[in-house]
Amino acid sequence: MAVMTYAQAGCLALRQEMERDQRVWALGEDVGPDGGVAGQYLGLRERFGPGRIVDTPISESMIMAAAIGSSLLGMRPVAELRYADFALCAADEIINQAAKARYMLGGQVQVPIVIRQPMGMRWGMAAQHSQSLENLWVGTPGLVVVATATPADNHGLLKAAIRADDPVVFLEHKELWLETGEVDEGAGPLAIGQAAVRRSGADITLVSWSSTANACVAAAAQLAGEGIDAEVIDLRTLWPWDRDTVFASVRRTGRVLVAHESTRVGGFGGEVLAEIAEALFGQLKAPPRRLGSPRIPVPYSKPLEDLCRVGPDRIAAAAAALCRGGAAPGMPELAPG
């Protein structure tokens, strides 16, 4: 196994897919000589040339429109949108065109696009560069939504996304770019829609994705010191999501906490808990709970930004309270809603 960063793992996956399939190409701002904001395209322009690694003007709607047109003609584009926040500039192309073209045309066309969206908070990038918008994309029929937490998953799931025949919103957390981990360079694509059990446990199920899944693993280590055995499930794919793995875990533990970085209000955690409650209500030992960020713009100030974070300490405190039968502490309320 090679050890590499999360960004390098994504770059490797794209290079391997471009070598395997001549139809794969990438476009976006600064993906050429600069290699992307985190080096996730580094060296690909030199390897494949400007015809397959295409630098574009600052226009997310144009990037998506070009990618959609290309996919309808049989190509497999990877569209880099720089930050997840900027994808909102291309919302019409993503939501009204890419997500619906296959359905609207009776299955006569496919739209095999990967829409890479670096997401989440990263050390004071403030309200327009720190959002986690997965709930928007999960709520859009026609889109597959992937959110990776480790270098190995970034490698295997980007391969899977490129080979998928439907548009895939591929969420990569900005704070993970420099995280390192083992990657099997010869591994093939991972299965979309299959969660990973990051840690087995018997007392409570922690469900999460992206960087917060790593925070749950750290929280589980803290809980072990308190005699609480937590199971951690990293969904990895938010749509379709792996109900079988989550339900099987909750049936065994009887307790569940969902944690994510996006806002608690309207967040995808509410949907996960609703389905768990509908299916397993009589088997729960405690009310299901969720942790998410307050419903406020993410502040630039680091102390205030930290209040929005769902880190290991908060996850461990909420999980311990659930296991002990007390009220689970939530996130600080910074604003109504």
The domain spans of the chain are: 2-183, 196-324
Catalytic site residue from 129, 155, 173, 260 = 129
DSSP state of 58: S
* CB 291 within 8 Å of CB 331: yes
Whether the model clears a pTM of 0.75, i.e. scores above it, the answer is yes
* CB 127 within 8 Å of CB 299: yes
* CB 37 within 8 Å of CB 11: no
Q: What is the pLDDT of residue 6?
A: 98
User: What does the alpha-carbon distance between residue 244 and residue 226 come to, in Å, rounded to a whole number?
Assistant: 29
The phi-psi region of residue 247 (left if phi > 0; otherwise alpha if psi is between -120 and 50; otherwise beta) is: alpha
> Kindly report the CA angle at 149 between 322 and 145, in degrees rounded to 5?
95
- 173 is annotated as an active-site residue: no
> Which CATH superfamily does the domain covering 2-183 fall into?
Thiamin diphosphate (ThDP)-binding fold, Pyr/PP domains (3.40.50.970)
List the chain residues with pLDDT less than 50.
Answer: 333-337
CB burial of 224-251 (b: ≥16 within 10 Å; e: otherwise) equals eeeebebbbbbbbbbbebbeebbbebbe
Strands (E), 29-167: 53-55, 76-80, 114-119, 144-148
Q: What is the pLDDT of residue 124?
A: 85
Same CATH topology for 2-183 and 196-324: the answer is yes
Domain 196-324: which topology? Rossmann fold (3.40.50)
Q: What is the pLDDT of residue 335?
A: 45
